[in-house]
A and B are shown apart, each in its own frame.
Chain A
Amino acid sequence: MNNNSIPPTPASPKPVAPVSEHTAGFSGYFPTWCPGCGNFGIWQALKMTFNKMKFDPDRLSIVFGIGCSGNMNDFLWANSFHALHGRAIPNAIGIKIANHDLPVVVIVGDGDCYGEGGNHFLHAARGNHDITVIVHDNRVYGLTTGQVAPTASQGFKSKSTPQGIIEVPVNPIALAVSQGATFVAQGFSGDMNQLVELIEKGVAHKGFSLVNIFQPCVTFNQINSYNWYRDRIYKLTSENHNPRDLNSAWQKSQEVTEKIPLGVVYDVDRPTYTDSLPQLSGKPLLDSALNIDLAQFINDFV
């Protein structure tokens, strides 16, 4: 129940995005985001990742949420479903269950994923559904012109919280780690090379993967700017962190103010939801025959 004030209408009827060897095949209309928006970095990183992974746009399914990030539906071409606000994750789970051979990526914002759709996020992590959730975390609502997001720092003043927000922010990394996600990473839209690496690892991971991406909103959030992040971020390495260790991951998840870690926070193996269904062991659900012998089912009622 998000409404737009900034029209999402594509300006041009033809794809005009620069077609390079890194982004070919996935480019749609040129984005309508504000100049300097952190979404540009994520958009480029996604296209570069999909090309690097040699994905075919026909055989990649992307579910977009509603928000500035979701408007990427017109700028990034794949077989996509543009969901309702908050509901992209269950759509993605349905797609994956129907055809577990398709890579399924979810593009959502912080309000969409941690606010309106928060319940779905928890349960998708628990179920280890093999989808990759890319969250654009800018701590503010952009498309509805500047209200507070669930990730906003306490005290953040916005149109909906002119006296400052009373609640403490959601901790996406801690939430995902604690609820059974098997791959949890954090990136920054100012570092595209690392983003490509994190998104690739997330998509390649078998199971539920979250890539939470800090993405400055240059229009509605003057506090959490590119420089604000650059002053705080540092990279996780094999020296300072073991992503297969829950305690270490939990510790890193608590670093949210002074020092903020970027990289793979948690990465473990657990059977995925579809791998745990004997019905899907042979072939995707989509390919199973529709006509079955009813006699055995009818006879149960005689």
Chain B
Amino acid sequence: MIDITVKIGGEAGFGIMTTGLLLGKIATRSGYHAFEYSEYPSLIRGGHNVIEVRISDEKVYSQQKQVDILLCLNLETFNKHASEVKEGGIIVYDTEKIPESKLNKPDVNLTYVHVPFVSILQEHKLSTVMLNNIALGALMHLLGADLNILNAAIVENFARKNQEIIDKNILAAKLGYEKTQKEMPQGYKLKLPKLKNIIPRLYISGNEMIGLASIAAGCRFYAAYPMTPTSALLHYLASQAQNCGMVVKHAEDEISVINMALGASFAGVRSMIGTSGGGFALMVESVSLAGITETPIVIVMGQRPGPATGMPTWTEQGDLLFVLHAGHGEFPKILLAPGDVEEAYKLTITAFNLAEIYQTPVFIIGDKYLQEGHQSVEKSIIEGYKFKIDRGKLLSQEELSKLTEYKRYLITKDGISPRAIPGMKGSLHQANSYTHGEDGHTSEEADVRIKQVEKRNKKAQTFLMNDFQMPVLYGNRQTPLTLISWGSVKAPILQAMSKFKDKFNYLHFSYLWPLDKIKIKNLLASPKKTLLVENNSHAQLGQLLTMVTGIEFPEKLLKYSGRPLYPEEILDKIDSMSS
């Protein structure tokens, strides 16, 4: 099995992220699986950025602690990360820029490769932004990859630039490649061999996948205010808006974002918004508005560590209970949390259907780890996913014309009322933020109030009957230990499981609300021993499950440093439980 982690570090603003992205893309195109994880501060220039790409001929689910190749574009990268490089690994650095006297070399057998990035730039009059291509050229040699694949990626990446810029970048890559070739000892073993069967895969981030899915689902309006980790979803959809006929609006604030989307949805178009915890806090009053006006909306809530501004560019699962309880008053809402890019695709499409079927807010809860990181996924899984666009009880003009009287908030058995769009003949109605009767007019009568409250509550029951999905059990049902988690923690858990198949199984929650109390209680009653794993300090899924079932989770692995869980940490915890 081939399993190589390449880590690239340097100052922010030097194209480190692009280097990592292209490396992952090249590996994916060459038939390998790839997974990317980056760490960077909330700064534009300066500061320390690192990106790591794990490449394997078997499925990779997450990053790992040990690094095979460390490429240092500054001294800080060397001294902070050299100790992560495993025995026999390689460290590439610029001896002319990084003085030997300042290096803290670890006490293991490593190969040091000297590539004078800065003097190569100067000698060939290349600009500093091309440094990342020298680095990529170096990596191409170290991995034994075909330089032509990189050249093709450079041509694509700079498609809008002139030929001179493309040529210079290709030259930079070639120089990096050749210099490394000279420096490397013969016969080292880290290379990625050419694969015979290349399965077409996408290399895509969670944000891009949610965006792609929204295009597939017929989303026609996306509004957002920039906020890490969901800004890249805004960027992707803004770049594609004219190609797919979507209107993408960067509004003045998050309150406007959600209210514009509710207006657009009221007027009949599928609408989505994206934000993070702080921006979502501003939207909360209008989540309640969506609840009472019964207006469909898909809300992408990308978590990052709070409270307040917190750690903007890092990861956490600290907002599950916030989202669950968001919005004053009682109304149904649906919470979905994808664990990887494949789930992000399927659940986003599902979210649009559920929002229109139940005429209520539907959340896609992500985090920095899932949304900003790139993963490879089989193209056929995405292309082959069959779905229908289900607009629920949205009336056609024909259906509306047959009605003798149209009531927007008609009391029905399933709690869902027929929905007309303004502009249709006979559609006259109001969507009312006040408590209202069936015709939408304001009412403070007790019986009207009770009927409408019960009607809205009924939608949750209908959802549990028709659309709720139970958590998925990964691994062997017979193992003595069941890990329980949600969202992106799926990645390190499945990675840990891929090595130790019989140590534990994993119960993955991606449908988080409403929950079927009886079914979940029965399910949780069966494992002999459980370990709750979450990327927060309050064990929020645990609290939610205890609230619903009364079952407690004595064993917990909680991480709240702003970093994602590592498979190694999960295995260590499991070992400590059994000893």
Spell out A's residues near B (CB within 8 Å): 1, 7-10, 28-29, 57-59, 61, 63, 66, 71, 73-74, 77-84, 86-87, 90-99, 101-102, 119-120, 122-123, 277-280, 285-286, 288, 290-292, 294-298, 301-302
Contact = CB atoms under 8 A, between A and B. Distances in A.
A29 to B, nearest CB: 7
A108 to B, nearest CB: 13
10 contacts: A71-B442, A78-B428, A79-B427, A79-B428, A80-B431, A94-B263, A94-B267, A99-B421, A288-B220, A290-B389
Contact of B221 (A82, A94, A123, A298): A94
B263 A82 contact: no
B252 A294 contact: no
A286 B245 CA distance: 11
B306 interface: no
B243 A285 contact: no
A284 B260 CA distance: 16
Nearest to A120: B256
Chain B interface size, under 10 / 10 to 19 / 20 to 34 / 35 or more: 35 or more
Contact of B266 (A94, A297, A298): A94
Given A59-B423, A90-B256, A123-B252, A302 B267 contact: no
A90 B215 contact: no
Given A98-B268, A292-B218, 6 more contacts: A77-B428, A79-B428, A94-B223, A98-B221, A279-B247, A286-B220
B29 A302 contact: yes
A143 to B, nearest CB: 12
B522 interface: no
B289 A83 contact: yes
B244 A90 contact: no
Contacts of A288: 220, 245
Contacts of A87: 255-256, 259, 286, 289
Top 9 nearest A-B pairs (CB, nearest first) are A94-B263, A290-B218, A79-B422, A90-B259, A98-B267, A91-B263, A94-B264, A94-B260, A301-B202
B432 A95 contact: no
A292 B424 CA distance: 25
B215 A294 contact: yes
A139 B545 CA distance: 51
Nearest to B241: A279
Contact of B255 (A9, A90, A92): A90
Nearest to B220: A285
Interface string B222-253: 01000000000000000011111111010111
Nearest to B257: A90
Contacts of B243: 296-297
A79 B430 CA distance: 6
Nearest to B263: A94
Contacts of B253: 119
A281 to B, nearest CB: 10
Interface string B291-326: 001000000000000000000000000000000000
A123 B430 contact: no
B260 A61 contact: no
Given A290-B218, A290-B270, A298-B382, A97 B264 contact: yes
Contact of A99 (B200, B223, B268, B431): B268
A81 B251 contact: no
Contacts of B430: 73, 79-82
B516 interface: no
Contact of A61 (B220, B252, B383, B422): B422
B389 A63 contact: no
Contacts, number: 202
A66 B433 contact: yes
A57 B428 CA distance: 7
A298 B442 contact: no
Contact of A285 (B221, B223, B432): B221
Interface in B316-341: none
A95 B29 contact: no
B433 A92 contact: no
Given A79-B429, A98-B267, A10 B442 contact: yes
Contacts of A97: 221, 247, 249, 260, 263-264
Interface of B: 29, 200-204, 208, 212, 215-216, 218, 220-221, 223, 240-247, 249, 251-253, 255-257, 259-271, 285-286, 289, 293, 379, 382-383, 389, 421-434, 441-445
A288 B220 CA distance: 8
B444 A298 contact: no
B286 A98 contact: no
A63 B424 CA distance: 17
Contacts of A286: 220, 267-269, 421, 423
Contacts of A77: 428
B203 A301 contact: yes
A18 B262 CA distance: 34
A206 B481 CA distance: 66
A298 to B, nearest CB: 6
A73 B428 contact: no
Given A57-B428, A61-B422, A87-B255, A99 B267 contact: yes
A9 B444 contact: yes
B226 to A, nearest CB: 15
A84 B289 contact: yes
Counting chain A CB atoms within 10 Å of each CB, which of B249, B253, B427 scores highest?
A: B249
A95 B295 CA distance: 13
Contacts of B262: 81, 91, 94
A44 B22 CA distance: 65
Nearest to B216: A294
B408 to A, nearest CB: 10
Contact of A81 (B223, B266, B425, B428): B266
B249 to A, nearest CB: 7
B267 A82 contact: no
A10 B242 CA distance: 46
Of the listed residues A28, A90, A285, the one surrounded by the most CB atoms of chain B closer than 10 A to its CB is A90
Contact of B424 (A9, A58, A78): A58
Nearest to A292: B244
B407 to A, nearest CB: 14
B563 to A, nearest CB: 26
Given A58-B428, A74-B441, A95-B264, A82 B383 contact: no
A73 B271 contact: no
Contacts of A63: 263
A87 B295 CA distance: 15
Contacts of A93: 256, 260, 263
B432 A73 contact: yes
A287 B201 CA distance: 34
A155 to B, nearest CB: 31
Nearest to B425: A58
A262 to B, nearest CB: 30
A151 B251 CA distance: 26
B260 to A, nearest CB: 4
Nearest to A25: B428
Contacts of A90: 251, 255-257, 259-260, 263
A123 B256 contact: yes
A82 B433 contact: yes
Nearest to B426: A58
A146 B286 CA distance: 26
B202 A73 contact: no
B418 to A, nearest CB: 15
Contacts of A83: 259, 289, 433
Contacts of A298: 202, 212, 379, 382-383
A119 B254 CA distance: 11
Given A81-B431, A94-B261, A98-B220, A297 B240 contact: yes
- Among B379, B432, B433, B444, max chain A CB count under 10 A is at B433
A295 B218 CA distance: 15
Contacts of B204: 301
A82 B434 contact: yes
Contacts of A29: 441
Contacts of A94: 221, 223, 259-267, 271
